[in-house]
Structure formats: structure tokens, C-alpha cells
Chain A
Amino acid sequence: MSTDLQTARFVARHYHALQGLVLVPVGAFLVLFGLGTWLGWENFQQGNCTLPSIILPVVILLTIAAARYYRQRFGEVHRATTPKEIWAAIIGIIGWFVLAMVDMTFLQNIPFSFTMLGMVTFCCMIPFASEGKRRYYFGLAFLLVCFAFLPAFNIVNKMDLFSGQWLGNLAIGLALVIGGLLDHWMLTRLFAPVQEAEA
């Protein structure tokens, strides 16, 4: 018996949130989409949706497979979602949408990606929602802020290096991949190794 009571309570409460591999395929898709747009790959340009529409079902399948892996490897937990959590998710999505609209409509000449602020806020909120744990999300928030300032290089270099949607996709995708892998690492670390049966 190597699990302490605080750990037991934390893992039980946040078991679904710690299933990080579920996020990785979505993040990898966003990274691929961002890179494709940046590097000008034909299949990722506006109006050409063939490759993304093939990849998207694969992403959904991988996400389902990851959720199944957790169910079969670590077991299942049922916890009724509180209305507070549902409201927080709805407010988060609306806030993100508003930021994206403001960014696209009014702030195109400002060298800062305001859309990414939504993800930065999300990353900063996670450690507070996880009883002070998962602090690596603060690091990811910092990484996103750095990415958000990249368009400023356009003014310095007088080049169009860091504009467009690809930057947001790449940064948010990277945050999801890294955050997901770290969550998975934390979950597997917190579970006690199963003892061997005594002979």
C-alpha cells in the first residue's frame, strides 16, 4: 500500500482530466494543420480540404482508442458533472469565440494573437482547478504567450513571417500535445505499482 489518502482523492476526482492521451491526437492534428498552412503544403491551403477531411476521422478514432485504453488499462470512474463545471466550459467556449472574432475583425494590424489568450487563460486555470497540481500548465501558458508575440517580428523584419491562422493552430496544438503527455505521465506516476501475489 503506497498510495496516500490525498493522492487517492486527487486521482479519483480528476481521473478523466488526467487522461492526457485523449488530447494528443487533436493536438497533433492542429500542429500538422498549422505546419501545412505555414509551409504552404497544397493539401492544407484554403479551399482544399481533402487531406484534413481524411485525417479528421483518424483523429477521432485515435481519441476513442485512447479513451478505451484508459478504460481497459486503469479502469473506470463515474462522477456526476456539477452544473458549475458545465457553466465554466460554456463561458470558456463563448469567451474564446469572442476573442477570435475580435482578433479577426478589429486587431489584424496589432502584432499579437489575441485568440491565443483564450488558451493561455485555460492553461492558467487548470492548476487551480486541480487542487494546485498540474503546475506544468503554467509553463505551457508562458510558451503560448511567447508564441502570441511572434507576429511582432513581422514589424521588426518587415516580412510576413508569422501571420495567419497557422500560428494559433501550431501553438495550441503543441500545448495540447505536451499537456496531454504530461497529464498521462502524472496519472501513471500516481498509480501505485500492483503488488505481486505472495507465493
Chain B
Amino acid sequence: MSNLANELAELDKLIHEPARLVILTALSAVDSADFLFLQNLTGLTAGNLSGHLTRLEEANLINVRKEIVGKRPKTTLSLTQTGRKAIDQHWQRLNELRTKTQASASQQS
């Protein structure tokens, strides 16, 4: 069991944080989404969401494109290739951990 705990601890904290995991999961299902959509989806305040996006951008997991549309600023976000690969691998690891946990639970019972 301690092995599983170690593996859980080794999960990438940058991706595994709940809000960032929702953002990356949503972006992995589309080509791109704007800031307003992600704000509605996550329920985060603009400042909070902006902070998470900055961290993801710094890690080269997402692309942030800012433009002015009809005198209004518009921020469009999409996953980078690294980001897409990272979220896929993260889900794969989570699935493997779930399978291992289920197997060890059935062995104990």
C-alpha cells in the first residue's frame, strides 16, 4: 500500500490540482476555448482563473492568445502539444493507480 501512496505522491502537482485538472480536461476535449467559457465551467473568479492559467502557460502546457474583438479584449486558450501529452499521460497514470488499488483491495478481502 505504501507503494501506491508513493505513486500518488509522485503525481504531477501542477496538473493534479483540481481547478487546473478541470481546465486541462476541458481543453483536451476541444481545439480551443475562451476565458469566459472556462470561468463559467470552473466557477472560479477571474483573478483565480487567471492565476491558474498563468501557471499552466509558464509550464508550456497551454497557449494563451489575446486579441481585441470589437473593442473588447478576448483571451483564447488551447493545449500545447506538451500539454496534450501531459494530460493524456496523467489520465493514464490515474487509471493505472485505480486498477492497482482495486486489485490490492480485492486481494485483501
Contact = CB atoms under 8 A, between A and B. Distances in A.
A8 B18 CA distance: 12
B41 interface: yes
B43 A75 contact: no
How many chain B residues sit at the interface, stated as a range, is: 20 to 34
How many chain A residues sit at the interface, stated as a range, is: 20 to 34
A133 interface: no
B59 to A, nearest CB: 19
Interface in B3-58: 18-19, 21-22, 25-48
Contacts, number: 89
A12 B26 contact: yes
Contacts of B42: 1, 3, 8, 192
B22 to A, nearest CB: 5
22 contacts: A3-B43, A8-B26, A9-B29, A12-B25, A12-B27, A15-B37, A74-B40, A75-B34, A75-B39, A76-B33, A76-B34, A76-B76, A78-B33, A78-B76, A79-B31, A191-B41, A191-B43, A192-B41, A193-B43, A194-B45, A195-B43, A197-B45
Interface of A: 1-3, 5, 8-9, 11-13, 15, 74-80, 191-198
Interface of B: 18-19, 21-22, 25-48, 76
